[in-house]
Amino acid sequence: MVVPVHIGIIMDGNGRWAESRGLIRTQGHLEGLKTAKRIVKAASDFGIKYLTLYAFSTENWKRASDEVSYIMGLVKQYLRAELEFSRKNHIRTRFTGDMEGLPKEIRKEIKDSIEATKDFNGMQVVLAINYGGRNEIIRSVNKFARENQQIINITEDDIKAYLDNPDIPDPDLIIRSAGEYRTSNFLLWEGAYSELYVSQKYWPDWDKEDLQAAIEEYNKRERRFGGITAA
């Protein structure tokens, strides 16, 4: 079985999972965090090199402030509690998103985790927090323009070089839980040629077997990157 180098996951359905059980939405996010930990472990066991998790989008600020604070609290909890696990499994924390728009204490937790794990050579977990694909492209173009005022023809390579993590290969596979067939502003640039896999299961119900099924399905896909298959 060919294991994708980079998998991105849109962890959707926490709210519906909770509501279907008569629980409040935040309970769904709490279960969603437990699932994220399970899937990080499973992905590392499968030998995935990069795993990008869409934890909070630039659009998620529109939610009720209680829910937003609760998710931010979970992010903090994840970053702290996972340090021991990261050490044991040599997992490196990375970040993508608009850092400036995050609360100061979350910024600090993220930076501390990145610093503490920077020399680990196992899987890299990219946390997409306050992330939007359009926002990432706009930030890239603005950074480029500020530093290269004389250049008027921006190339693909220029935009790529100023994205959040130019060293990380584009995702081979993007997984979305909870049945919606859209990418919701996730890895717009990087995901141009990613295979998409939609699972009907809500994120809190996801397990190692679901990740395995997604990887098996990926193995059946034929990736042509806009070309044609050789005869």
Binding site for ligand FPP (CB under 6 A): 11-16, 29, 32-33, 36, 53, 55, 60, 71, 74-75, 78, 127, 178
Name the nearest CA neighbour of 83 among 91, 72, 71, 95.
91
Residues in the chain: 231
**Residues in a beta bridge with 125:** 51, 93
Q: How far is the CB of 171 from ligand FPP (least distance, A)?
A: 16
* Token output for 115: 């610093």
Reply yes or no on whether 185 is catalytic.
Answer: no
Q: How far is the CB of 16 from ligand FPP (least distance, A)?
A: 3
Nearer to ligand FPP, 38 or 143 (CB): 38
Q: How far is the CB of 179 from ligand FPP (least distance, A)?
A: 10
Nearer to ligand FPP, 61 or 193 (CB): 61
Q: How far is the CB of 67 from ligand FPP (least distance, A)?
A: 8
Residue from 14, 60, 119, 185 carrying the catalytic annotation: 60
Nearer to ligand FPP, 43 or 214 (CB): 43
Backbone angles phi, psi at 25, to 5 degrees: -55, -35
Q: b/e for 8-46, b at 16 or more Cβ within 10 A?
A: bbbbbbbbbbbeeeeeebbbbbbbbbebbeebbebbbeb
Residue from 12, 164, 172, 210 carrying the catalytic annotation: 12
Reply yes or no on whether 60 is catalytic.
Answer: yes
Nearer to ligand FPP, 21 or 224 (CB): 21
Rg (alpha carbons) of the chain, rounded to whole number: 18
Q: Indicate the residue whose CB is closest to ligand FPP.
A: 15
Name the nearest CA neighbour of 120 among 157, 150, 152, 91.
91
Residues that are catalytic? 12, 60
